[in-house]
Chain A
Amino acid sequence: MQRTTDFLAKSQETVLVGLSRRGDRAAFAELVNRRQAWIRNLMRRCSGNSVLADDLAQQVFMQAWRSIVQLQDAARFAPWLKRMAINTWLQYARKGDPLRNVEDRQGFELAHHETPGIAMDLDRALGTLAEDVRLCVVLSYYEQMTHNEIAGFTGVPLGTVKSHIRRGTKRLREELAAYIETQEVKS
């Protein structure tokens, strides 16, 4: 058992994906282990709510387990997972849950206790943006995606993506002025 765990921990991601496609739970658990921080951070930046973000991230991995058989190219696991995460967030955002704003506020408060400093302030600043603007900004700054890629992933027209990012950047600079000034002083 220990030998299996060691083998999986040392294996390349493509090997883990191949094993997971054959129904190997341990291999998939190792994939979760490796990719969880990325997806949880992405969901946290999108939702600003640590509890909701973890729940959505879990949903992403559950869906990945269900559909990993359909993944043809094991080397494309990361972009495939990212697309799944973005779709999960978009589905949640479009549901129009009437209690969502209440949850968000509670989430932001919870995040204050759990995440000190910059992550907390960044999430709070992102929380001031409209959902579609926030998603474009997060995909641009956190995922390093180009405008074209964001338009392709989200289905938002390219011009709208550009204006969302421009507007979001301006707003974030205002909200996070203290941090940006500190950076300017340091440099």
Chain B
Amino acid sequence: MSTGRDPQLQALFASAEQEFDASAFRSDVMARIDAQRRRTVILWSLLSLFAIAALVTLASPVFEAFRIANQVLPVSLVDIETDWLRQAVSPVNSVAAGIALCAVALHRFYLRIFR
């Protein structure tokens, strides 16, 4: 527990301690806390309004996009007439599987070129 303090300087520090007007300072702090709380409430209100507006505006296009994706992604890439074969290759025989395979191939290509 080292301190290495000079006793005379320590006495000077002790005698330099000041008394302040506590009530004005306390009022300022509480006023700033209230102002900050008001700002936070206003900010959250604006963000909520913005989120609701965005939801209302974008709801229709987003649902439409989901509907189209739902129709397009399961479509088979190749028509297979044999029942058991169609079932067997169905995980890779769709637009969704094609997109996924393309993404994997592009990723590997990227890794091979840039690493």
A interface residues with partner B (beta carbon < 8 Å): 25, 28-29, 32-33, 36-37, 40-41, 44-45, 54, 57-58, 61-62, 65, 115, 118-119, 122-123, 140-142, 144, 146-148, 162, 165-166, 169, 172-173, 176, 179-180, 183-184
Contact = CB atoms under 8 A, between A and B. Distances in A.
Interface of B: 1-6, 8-13, 15-20, 22-23, 25-26, 28-30, 32-33, 36
A140 B4 CA distance: 9
B18 A115 contact: yes
A58 B13 contact: no
Chain A interface mostly = helix
Contacts of B5: 140-141, 169
29 contacts: A25-B33, A32-B22, A36-B22, A36-B25, A37-B19, A44-B18, A45-B13, A54-B25, A58-B28, A58-B29, A61-B29, A62-B29, A118-B12, A119-B16, A119-B18, A122-B12, A141-B9, A141-B13, A144-B3, A147-B2, A148-B2, A162-B4, A165-B4, A169-B4, A169-B6, A173-B6, A173-B8, A176-B12, A183-B8
Chain B interface mostly = helix
A140 B29 CA distance: 28
Contacts of B2: 146-148, 162
A142 B10 CA distance: 8
Contacts of B25: 32, 36, 40, 54, 57-58
B67 to A, nearest CB: 45
Those 7 A-B pairs whose CB atoms lie nearest each other, nearest first? A119-B16, A141-B13, A122-B16, A61-B29, A32-B26, A147-B2, A118-B16
Contacts of A45: 13, 16
A58 B23 CA distance: 13
Given A32-B29, A141-B10, A37 B4 contact: no
